[in-house]
A and B are shown apart, each in its own frame.
Chain A
Amino acid sequence: MNKKLLSSILLSGALLAACGDDSDVAKTDANNNADAEKVVIGTGSQFINICFYDEDGNLTGYDIELLKEIDQRLPQYEFDFEVMDFSNLLLSLETEKIDLIAHNMAKNPEREEKFLFNKQPYNAVPTHVVVNEKNTDIHSIDDLNGKTVGLAPTSNAALFVEDYVAKNNLDTELTYITSTPDMLNQLKTDRIQAIFQFPFSVEIFNRESDAQLKLVGEPLIFSEIFFMLNKQDEKLAADIDEILEELIEDGTVKELSEKWLGADFSVEL
Chain B
Amino acid sequence: MSSFFDIGYVFDAIPKLLNYLHITIEILLLSIFFGLILGIIIAVPRLYKIPVLKEIATLYISFIRGTPILIQLFLVFYGLPLLVGMFGINITRMDAFIFVIITYTLSNAAAFAEIFRAAIQSIDYGQAEAAQSIGMTGWQTFSRIVFPQALRIAFPNIASTSISSLKDTSLAFSIGVMDMMGRGDTLITATMNALEVYVALAIIYYVIVLLLEYGYKFIERYLNRYLVKEAL
Residues of A at under 8 Å CB distance from B?
Answer: 1, 4-5, 8, 12, 15-16, 18-19, 23-25, 40, 45-48, 52-55, 57, 82-85, 88, 91-92, 95-97, 179-182, 184-185, 205, 208-211
Contacts and interface: CB of A to CB of B under 8 A. Distances in A.
Contact of B190 (A25, A40, A52, A185): A52
Contacts of A52: 186, 189-190
Interface of B: 1-2, 16, 19, 22-23, 25-26, 29-30, 74, 78, 81-82, 92-93, 95-97, 173-178, 182-183, 185-192, 194, 215, 218-219, 221-222, 225
Nearest to A84: B176
B78 A95 contact: yes
B186 A88 contact: no
Contact of A48 (B16, B29, B74, B189): B189
Given A1-B222, A15-B25, A57-B186, A88 B192 contact: no
Q: Which 4 A-B pairs have the closest CB atoms?
A: A209-B192, A53-B186, A84-B176, A85-B174
Contact of B97 (A24, A53, A54): A24
A21 to B, nearest CB: 9
Given A8-B215, A16-B29, A53 B190 contact: yes
5 contacts: A8-B218, A15-B22, A24-B23, A181-B194, A182-B194
A52 B222 CA distance: 48
Contacts of A5: 218-219, 222
A52 B183 CA distance: 11
Nearest to B90: A96
A126 to B, nearest CB: 22
Contact of A179 (B29, B185, B190): B185
Contact of A12 (B29, B92, B175): B29
Nearest to B20: A57
Given A83-B176, A95-B81, A53 B189 contact: yes
A84 B218 contact: no
Contact of B93 (A46, A97, A210): A97
A1 B220 CA distance: 11
Contacts of A57: 16, 19, 183, 186
Given A8-B218, A19-B22, A84-B174, A210 B2 contact: yes
Contacts of A179: 185, 188
Nearest to A23: B95
Contacts of A180: 189
A48 to B, nearest CB: 6
Given A24-B176, A55-B187, A85-B175, 15 more contacts: A1-B218, A1-B222, A8-B219, A15-B25, A16-B29, A18-B22, A23-B97, A24-B177, A46-B185, A53-B187, A84-B175, A88-B74, A91-B78, A95-B81, A97-B81
Given A16-B26, A210-B1, A54 B92 contact: no
Contacts of B82: 95
B155 to A, nearest CB: 13
A93 B47 CA distance: 44
Contact of B186 (A16, A24, A45): A45
Contacts of A82: 96, 176
B222 A55 contact: no
A182 B189 CA distance: 10
Contacts of B225: 1
A4 B218 contact: yes
Contacts of A53: 183, 186-187, 189-190
